[in-house]
Amino acid sequence: MTFSLAEMWHSMGLPAKIVGGFIMTMGLSSLTVFVERVIALRRSRTASRRFAAEVGDALDAGLVESVAAEAEKHPHGHLPRLVQSGLAFYAQARATEDSPLSPAERTRRHLQRHLEQLSADLRRGLPVLASVGSVAPFVGLLGTVVGIISAFGGIASTGSGGLSSVAAGISEALVETALGLAVAIPAVLAFNYLSTAIGEDERTLAAAAGELADTIEGWGEAPASQVRHERVA
């Protein structure tokens, strides 16, 4: 037989084909997650940069409605979503002052909770990459075992231990091993790359949440009537 991929695939038994199909499915899943996360992170960063450049002065001036309206124009950015959520909660907290905590302190705590939600959204899909990177080599090893079993089956059926009787099984074993490693290695690299990129975004969002909380706390130091009229109304 020839050792082309097509010939090896046709010579594989059903167990080996199932293992190989499972490995390829994991590879496609990890590739899909990686591409989707890269696109999502780039869109978020682009939207966040535009939003920050457009509302810096308005936020310092306390123009809440203007900042919130601008945030709605960037639904794919995590920074606009953070600012919009914080300002909306602050406005609600000032309207219902039924807590021993000040509106600014309640808003600070809300921002911390919202950061956790944004972090979970940023890391969506990473468990798939982690699972593929850790499991694919073992699935490839399973395919190797299946190939070796097939090789011994060839020996038993022919009654001899010649190369021709074991070549098909050995080729299955090597292909399954290589396929498992070929899927696992890119998945691990993709996971590390995305984890680093997402960690940078999380630190940026945490710093932005702190700055927003400090800005809102500064608003709270102004007279109540002045704040409602200029900043919340």
What is the share, in percent, of the chain residues with pLDDT greater than 70? 80
Q: Give the three-class secondary structure for 123.
A: coil
Q: Does residue 29 register a pLDDT over 80?
A: yes
> For residue 24, which of 36, 9, 39, 44 has the smallest C-alpha distance?
9
pLDDT digits (tens, 9 = 90+) for 79-127: 999 999 999 998 888 888 677 888 889 999 999 999 999 999 999 999 9
Stated pTM of the model: 0.81
Q: Does residue 78 register a pLDDT over 60?
A: yes
> For residue 27, which of 16, 37, 35, 38 has the smallest C-alpha distance?
35
Q: Does residue 231 register a pLDDT over 50?
A: no
pLDDT digits (tens, 9 = 90+) for 35-61: 999 999 999 999 999 998 888 777 777
Domain ranges of the chain: 5-232
Residue entry with tokens 């306390």: 62
- Side-chain-side CA neighbours of residue 110 (13 Å): 23
Determine the pLDDT at residue 161.
55
Distance between CA atoms of residues 156 and 162, nearest Å: 11
Determine the pLDDT at residue 229.
38
Asked if residue 109 lies in contact with residue 133, where contact means CB atoms within 8 angstroms, the answer is: no
pLDDT digits (tens, 9 = 90+) for 190-203: 999 999 999 999 99
